[in-house]
Amino acid sequence: MDSSRDNLFTRFTTFWWALFVFAGFGVLLAVIWLFNNSEPKNLEDVVAETRYKNKEEVLKAQATALPQEAIDKAISVVATQLAASKPAAVSTDAQIVPGSARAKAKEAGGSVDPSAINKEAAESKDPVDPAIVEKGKASYLLCGACHGQNGEGVPMAGPPLAGSEWVTGPVSNLAIIGFRGIIGPITVAGKEHKEFVAGMAPMAAAMSDEDFAAVLTYIRNSFGNKASQVKPEWVKAFRGEIGKPQLPTSELIQPEAK
Amino acid sequence: MSSTAQSIQDAKLRADIDRSLRHPVMFFMTSGAAWLAVSIILGLISSAKVHSPEFLSGFGWLTYGRVFPAHIAALVYGWGFQAAFGVMIWLMARLSRQECKSAGIILAAGHVWNFAVSIGLLGILGGAGTGVPWMEFPTFIWPVLLVTYFVIVVWSFIQFRVRPSGYVYISQWYIMAAMVWFPWIFLTANLLVFVFQGHPVMAAGIAAWFKSGLIFLFFTPVALAASYYLAPKVTGRPIFSYTLAKLGFWSLAIIAPWAGMQKLTGAPIPFFLPYLGAAATALLFIPALAAGVNILRTTLASPEAVEQSPSLRFSVAGIIGLLVFGFAGLFLNLPGSSLKLTQFSLSGYGFEILALYSFFSFIMFGAIYFIVPRITRREWLSRRLISMHFFFSVYGIIAVSVVALFGGLMQGIGQEEWIQPWINAATRTYPYAIFITIAWAFILFSNVFFFLHLTLMWLRLGRRSSHPTLLVSHHGGSSPHGAEGDIDNAGPGSADAHAH
């Protein structure tokens, strides 16, 4: 056996050689990393710098203003409150989002007397514009989800519009239904419907006057219905109703049954 | 010196080497086996949680997000590394013909390693895990592991340096390579993920690279070193092809470092990285095939040795596991077809278990069944316990691997049907998850036998015999080892043998 290699010096140097080899890769990595942390050069990095700085500031502000212990303490309280809370109606003007339907309703003014409009609609002999009807038909797609694409009604979703006295009746009813929605039982063509427990949402609150008038004209002249065209200014008059809760049919003008 | 005197001298040196190493190696083997049992129990629990989330749901520390990382950590750092340490230091000492002069230091370092792993595991179960796969220990643990690792293996490095001049064994190449590669990948991964603040998505990629590197650049070379030692040693035949061995080693060294990033296919990292990872993992069937063919050709030249020797049987099973694992790597990483199906599925888990258990652990079992009798000077107590260990492990691991790989594909197919609700994909996985739990139960059963057997050997309660415990009993027949007697006064080196 060759023992000339096996001496203390060789063992000692091999120990340090091993340490060097084992750690060498990591040391090289650290050196490359440290020398590579240069200032950002391209646009993305420059923009990112600002973003990171903002993030740091936000995090710092949050940490001082909202420490974790305060959050932990508040969580159960807030959770109980949320579980017990009910949606609150708008109470001050500051709560109304600018440009929203509520804001436009406020501009349009308060309640308006419907009788003049209803009289004009009932007595109107003007021919119905087919272009308006077509435009209304395009918008009707969404209404058809509950009322049926042919106005036949959808079980549990919406009553039929075909042969409905509400549709051919006073225009104010239609406008108010569009802007406020309906809740509760409704009698259509002699049949009482109590199954629509959710009622109707104010589907027209976000529509423009022209679009809403077009849809009303469409439903008043389709599915076997025949009635006068609805003018946009009639609809506009009722904008003030937006934001009021869903109303039961008893509060509407009862149409003459067919 | 006459050849008989030379061989007696040689045998004495081997016995001295074994004696010097017995405390650290036995410690690593036994504590490793204990960690294996712990990890399999944790694996059983986490696998049960996949299909029955209400199982043990009263315990917060057993939620899937904690028990699964704990399972992997115990398997890799508790069992995998300690088995590797035991095998590495014994093999290098034997092959370099050097007695171990630092057994005490290695033993102390081994205790520190165990302590660190225990603290880390408690940290994971307590919720302080980092969430990075295979690097789950709380961040203060990894430097401890690195330093301990150095203290354990540096002596083998020195032994290699002062070895008698001449032939360098294939096993020695692999052990030296594993010794150097591990600190490279470990330090790199931990620095880039935990220390240097880099891009977080890239950190996930680096963690995936680390997982792959640990399998291919540490566990694979250690297992191959053991099998390249056991195959010629137990069969008495030379390795089939030296050239193939060189090819296997160098192809592993060149291809394996690129593998791993395929886990992040589709992530916002440079496009070539995941594809490179997939290509490298697929190409790793080349070294797997080279080593597999080499060792199988060596061992199957004497099939009776494979039948009788427990160490050889486990090694051959492990090499077959290597071949399956190599081809699974090829199959699971085809970018056009299977990569997208297996990326977020059970297949990844099946692939890792295939590597860690059906390849690495089986070869470690083979090495343990070879080494322990030599360092304790006792033979294994019962061939039936060894058989039970073997068969239940084989059944279990075939079940886990096949089911996880195939089930992962099914799961991936379900996940790809994005129009269907997610519950469809989960429902597809359900039966495979149950099967995996049952398979882990089989493996737990087998390892209970193993741990029991190993503990008895550790307690010096093995058979005092000059004949090895073989899987086939030679009742009454003549044995090449001569008449059976006590280990101290029979066998090839004894006076009895030379009286004839």
Q: Find the closest chain A residue to B182 by CA distance.
A: A22
**Quick check: is A226 in a domain?**
yes
Higher per-residue confidence, B339 vs B396: B396
Q: What is the pLDDT of residue A109?
A: 65
Among B187, B188, B206, B209, most A C-beta atoms within 10 A, so best to mutate, is B187
pTM of the complete model: 0.72
pLDDT digits (tens, 9 = 90+) for B14-63: 999 999 999 999 999 999 999 999 999 999 999 999 888 888 888 888 99
pLDDT digits (tens, 9 = 90+) for A86-104: 777 777 878 888 877 777 7
Residue B419 banded pLDDT, cuts 50, 70, 90 = confident
Residue in A11, A25, A30 closest to B162 by CB: A11
Could you tell me if A145 and A60 lie in one domain? no
Q: Find the closest chain A residue to B98 by CA distance.
A: A6
Residue B68 has pLDDT above 90, yes or no: yes
Share above pLDDT 70 across residues of chain B, in percent, rounded to a whole number:
95
Instruction: Give the structural domain span for A161.
Output: 108-251
Q: What is the pLDDT of residue A3?
A: 56
Low-confidence ranges of chain A (pLDDT < 50): 1
> Does A26 sit within 8 Å of B184, measured CB to CB?
yes
From CA A185, how far away is CA A183, in angstroms rounded? 7
Residue B479 has pLDDT above 70, yes or no: no
Residue B256 has pLDDT above 70, yes or no: yes
**Quick check: is B490 in a domain?**
no
Q: How many domains does chain B have?
A: 1
**Quick check: is B476 in a domain?**
no
Could you tell me if A240 and A113 lie in one domain? yes
B483: left (phi over 0), alpha (psi -120 to 50) or beta: beta
> Does A33 sit within 8 Å of B180, measured CB to CB?
no
Chain B touched by A25 (CB under 8 Å): yes
Q: Residue B184: list chain A partners with CB under 8 A.
A: 22, 24-26
**Quick check: is A91 in a domain?**
no
**Quick check: is B483 in a domain?**
no
pLDDT digits (tens, 9 = 90+) for B303-330: 888 888 999 999 999 999 999 999 998 9
From CA B361, how far away is CA B354, in angstroms rounded? 10
Q: Buried (b) or exposed (e) across B275-309, using 16+ Cβ within 10 A?
A: bbbbbbbbbbbbbbbbbbbbbbebbeebeebbebb
Q: ipTM, 2 decimals?
A: 0.83
Could you tell me if A71 and A196 lie in one domain? no
> Does A21 sit within 8 Å of B180, measured CB to CB?
yes
Q: Residue A11: list chain B partners with CB under 8 A.
A: 158, 161-162
Q: Residue A2: list chain B partners with CB under 8 A.
A: 164-165
Q: How many domains does chain A have?
A: 2
Q: What is the pLDDT of residue B265?
A: 87
Could you tell me if A32 and A112 lie in one domain? no
Could you tell me if A220 and A121 lie in one domain? yes
Mean pLDDT of B154-174: 91
Q: What is the pLDDT of residue B157?
A: 93
pLDDT digits (tens, 9 = 90+) for A210-225: 989 999 999 999 888 8
Instruction: Give the structural domain span for B358.
Output: 19-469
Give every CB contact of residue B102 below 8 A, 6+ residues apart in sequence.
B155
Residue in A15, A21, A26 closest to B158 by CB: A15
**Quick check: is B266 in a domain?**
yes
Q: How far is A52 from chain B (nearest CA, A)?
A: 13
> Does B165 sit within 8 Å of A15, measured CB to CB?
no
Could you tell me if A125 and A230 lie in one domain? yes
> Does B187 sit within 8 Å of A26, measured CB to CB?
yes
Q: Coil, helix or strand for A200?
A: strand
Q: In the 8-state DSSP scheme, what is residue A38?
A: P
CATH number for the domain that contains residue A177: 1.10.760.10
Q: What is the pLDDT of residue B218?
A: 97
Mean pLDDT of B429-453: 91
Q: Residue B177: list chain A partners with CB under 8 A.
A: none
Higher per-residue confidence, A171 vs B124: B124
Q: What is the pLDDT of residue A1?
A: 43
Q: What is the pLDDT of residue B492?
A: 59
CATH number for the domain that contains residue B349: 1.20.210.10
Q: Residue B180: list chain A partners with CB under 8 A.
A: 21-22
Q: Residue A22: list chain B partners with CB under 8 A.
A: 150, 154, 179-180, 183-184
Lowest mean pLDDT among A74-83, B213-222, B309-318, B435-444: A74-83
> Does B196 sit within 8 Å of A33, measured CB to CB?
yes
From CA B384, how far away is CA B392, in angstroms rounded? 12
**Quick check: is A96 in a domain?**
no
Q: What is the pLDDT of residue B65?
A: 92
Chain B touched by A52 (CB under 8 Å): no
Q: Find the closest chain A residue to B162 by CA distance.
A: A6
Q: What is the pLDDT of residue B208?
A: 94
Residue B461 has pLDDT above 70, yes or no: yes
